[in-house]
Chain A
Amino acid sequence: MPYWTRKAAGALATLWLASVAVFLLLRLAPGDPVSAALGAEADQEQRDRLADSLGVDRPLPVQYLGWLHGLLTGDPGSSFHYREPVTRLIGQSVGSTVQLALVAGLLMLLLGLLLGVALASEHRGRLARLLDPLVTALLALPVYVTAVLFVFVFAVLLRVLPAGGERDLLTAPDLAVQYLALPAVALALPGSAVLARLLATELRRTRQEEFVLTAVAKGASPRRVLARHVLPNSLAPFCVEFGLHLGELLGGAVVAEQLFARHGLGQLLLDAINQRDYPVAQTLIMLAIAVAVLVQLGSELLVGRLDPRIARAGTGEAR
């Protein structure tokens, strides 16, 4: 089986397992979804009408297939709480989260590359010795710790950036960037520290390889050796890890939205959980898993392109 079909099949299997698990969440929850939706004071006629429209009286596999069909055709049902289609609710807050995740993801990539190259640098000056504990600290501290510290320094002490809130990136880009800066950096830092460490280890290993020694012996400048020979051959594990951390970023985004008062998908999910609004919560959790799985699949396919040895391994072509 070719590399990409193997990886895609694995991703599909995970998605399927996840969909079953998320679907069962609703059925395993204490109390039935009808009471959860209507509350205790609803009369029997209301209950019957909702039970019929939700289809909770049908057998489980039929319900599952119906739910899956709704998800795939973009109609995952209506919110219990707002009495609006889930898709419309998601549409209202998806922009905020996408902006935050995109900016944070880009920052994570850039910071990871820069810090990684700096960590692996052979010039061990005073600054470089400070870099190691700094990266460890960034790696250790969770989003909410850095977020509060940032707000305290930049909004309370220096008064240069807003403490919370948001503006639309498309209509007011200059303001939006100010509102995005703190949450995006706080969200990006832990992942970028992990990436930096991984890249540094890989760079040090690649530097020992014979083709690098050859390039140095032939008189290539250190910059050229790094950019042309060492870095490209060290990027494969970096890519896999980047994919993994983009998935983790979604979890962090929920926390960042909470602390920075941004009305994105994370807040929608949190409200849905607190109000037992199962259709909204299930769709959002499924969406988060799907994004994480697909991003990871993308990064694995990219690695296959970057390093064909990985793609060939296990297919019998390698040996």
Chain B
Amino acid sequence: MTVTTAPVRRPSLLRPLPPALRTPRGRTGALLVLLVVLLGLLGPLLLGTDPYQQGRDALAGPSWDHPLGTDEVGRDLLARALAGVRTELLVCLLAVPAAAVLGTLLGLLGGLNRLLGELVQRLFDLLLGLHGLLLGLALALLVRPGLGTVVATIVLSALPSFGRQARAALLGQLARDHVVAARVLGVPRGRILRRHVLPNVVDATTALLAVAMAHAVKIEGGLSVLGLGVQPPAPALGAMINAGSKYLFLQPGYALTPVALLGLLVFGLTLLADSFNRERLR
């Protein structure tokens, strides 16, 4: 899609800094997210420790070799937590954009065919009724748990919000005078959708992206806590939280490190989502 087709609208990405990021709330959120993302991307490079390397000293305390100590098979906790952040980011960056595109397209189907639109709405109702975690549990019954299952769960649970947003924009735009005029003039439906509806959807979707990211992190973490996420020995924050919660007395850093990283990421994303929403409602 080219942004230039949108009439009299400066594309928001080209402004120096979106107004939502200028509020204290938005700035804090952006900084927190940036911090965790940078830790995930650069941390493993700077640290240089292999997160899979097992050692003889299990559950050892902090030392030069292992700044946060080791887990029950002697793997470096810091290296595993930072690698877990990478897994988290990978899952979210795969799933959320896919859900945004798919959901928006499904929502816009109603603009082409009324019956199709209604069918899609019922599908969304069902997905909403299942909530993220239950959906993941049902999917884990269908296929072996792993990266693909987690991504599928997040895509499916994020579809309805993007779809409904697109549909709301669609219904709102179709009633506008200029769209009615375009239809009277015989402009084909596909072109109306592209020129008049899609630009409005894209604008509203920014706020939703942040919300969906926060949800995605929570779902990935939750499934991983239950052992249904990315499978061991691959590092995942949720799996570390689950395993570490058994050693809270002995090795508090085991569970608290992933808890802190995941908590900061979700908190930052939620602050961002908030400030985008407030900016849009003003």
Contacts and interface: CB of A to CB of B under 8 A. Distances in A.
A251 B248 contact: no
Category for how many chain A residues contact B:
35 or more
Contact of B221 (A17, A144, A292): A144
A196 interface: no
A140 B141 contact: no
A139 B134 contact: no
B197 interface: no
Contacts of A255: 133, 222, 225-226
Contacts of A14: 125-126, 129
A136 B274 contact: yes
Given A14-B125, A292-B131, A151 B274 contact: no
A139 B134 CA distance: 20
B238 interface: yes
A144 B138 contact: no
B248 A152 contact: yes
A148 B245 contact: yes
A276 B141 CA distance: 7
Contact of B129 (A18, A142, A155, A252): A18
Q: Which of B225, B238, B266 has the most CB of A within 10 A?
A: B225
Contacts of B248: 148, 151-152, 155-156, 163
Q: Which of B125, B137, B143 has the most CB of A within 10 A?
A: B137
Contacts of B242: 144, 258-259
B263 A22 contact: no
A241 to B, nearest CB: 13
B267 interface: yes
A145 B259 contact: yes
Interface stretch (A37-45, A49-57, A172-180, A281-289): A281-289
Given A148-B255, A152-B256, A273-B141, A140 B270 contact: yes
A301 B137 CA distance: 30
Interface string A161-177: 00100000000000000
Interface of B: 122, 125-126, 129-134, 137-138, 140-143, 214, 218, 221-222, 225-228, 238, 241-242, 244-245, 248-249, 252, 255-256, 259, 262-263, 266-267, 269-271, 274
25 contacts: A14-B125, A140-B263, A142-B218, A144-B225, A144-B241, A145-B263, A148-B245, A148-B248, A156-B248, A163-B249, A247-B131, A251-B131, A251-B222, A252-B133, A254-B133, A255-B226, A258-B242, A259-B225, A269-B137, A273-B228, A281-B141, A285-B134, A285-B137, A292-B129, A292-B131
